[in-house]
Each structure stands twice: as C-alpha cells, then as structure tokens.
Amino acid sequence: MALTIGDKAPDFTLLDENENKVTLSKLRGKKVILYFYPKDNTPGCTKEACDFRDMYKQFKKHDVEVFGISKDSAKTHTKFIDKYELPFSLLVDDNADVCEAYGVINKKSMFGKTFLGIQRSTFLIDEKGIIRAIWRKVKVPGHVEQVLNDIN
C-alpha cells in the first residue's frame, strides 16, 4: 500500500557518506526532507542535488533537515558531495529497503530494457514523524522551489 499524506513515516536507520548511522525517529522535533534519487553523478540527480544545495540555507531557516537517499555506496556519496559541495548528507540504501518502504521502487525502461529502479520522489516529514507532503515522479526543474514554497 502506498504511503499517503498523514501517514506515519516509516522509520529507518541508514549510513551516511561518513558511515555514521542516521535514524529518522531520532530527528523528531525537526522537519525532514527525504529526497529519493536514482544515482550519483548523473545529470538529473546532479541538478536536483545542486538545487537542494543552492536553497539549503532557506530550508535551514525553517529548521528542515535535508537528506538524499539512493542505492549508491558511502564512497560514491562522498565523492558526489565533495565534487558539488553539498551541505547535507546522502544516505546509503544499498538493499533498497527504505526505498521499498517509501514505495519509490518502480519499473523503469531504458534502451528497450525494463528494470526496477528508484523513481525520483520527495517526502516532507513533520516534527512528529508524520508525512505532510509527497512529490512522486518528480521533474527536476522547479522542484526544489516548489518544495520550499509548500513548506512556507
């Protein structure tokens, strides 16, 4: 069953780029943006990460923590963060367990082949761990601005 606005956000513990554990329930008291993306260093994912980077101070003004989640390794995340000077953590979901819990694993096709991959999606979770907004099938241009406007 797909998550909907008003649902309790599925809790998780994932490693960040420094292999430190990040547990969603330990972030209670703050709003959290979880953005799921397919792969580090690809054009759309780089644009999305840089858009979050460029608007990061505005998210912090609203006491919002931002986390990107993909199946990439901590090492790949570290290189991606360093290359684009990202001020937020990227979390490693190598088994796609959290992606599955949030319903962002979908069939995709490329060059005539069908495979399961991460559908670009963003979730706004409130201070009590409740999902307050969901953006699925995200188109990168203008997305981060829309998220920020919805937080306001």
Q: What is the CATH number of the domain that holds 60?
A: 3.40.30.10
- Residue 45 is a catalytic residue: yes
Residue 8 lies in a domain: no
Residue 49 lies in a domain: yes
Tell me the angle at which helices 74-84 and 43-61 cross, rounded to the nearest 10 degrees: 70
For residue 117, what pLDDT is reported?
77
- Number of domains forming the structure of the chain: 1
Instruction: Give the side-chain half-sphere CA count within 13 A for 20.
Output: 6
Residue 50 lies in a domain: yes
Place of tokens 């991460």: 118
Residue 81: give the domain boundaries: 13-151
Residue 95 lies in a domain: yes
For residue 118, what pLDDT is reported?
85
Which two tokens mark 137? 């099938």
Distances (CA, A) of 89 to 1, 2, 115, 116, 128: 28, 26, 27, 24, 21
Residue 26 lies in a domain: yes
pLDDT tens digit sequence for 81-133: 999 999 999 999 999 999 999 999 887 666 777 767 788 899 999 999 999 99
The mean predicted confidence, pLDDT, of the chain is 92
Residue 43 lies in a domain: yes
In eight-state DSSP terms, residue 24 is G
> Catalytic: which of 34, 45, 69, 104?
45
For residue 133, what pLDDT is reported?
94
Which two tokens mark 70? 């993909």
For residue 119, what pLDDT is reported?
86
Cα dihedral 150, 22, 98, 52 sign: positive
Residue 1 lies in a domain: no
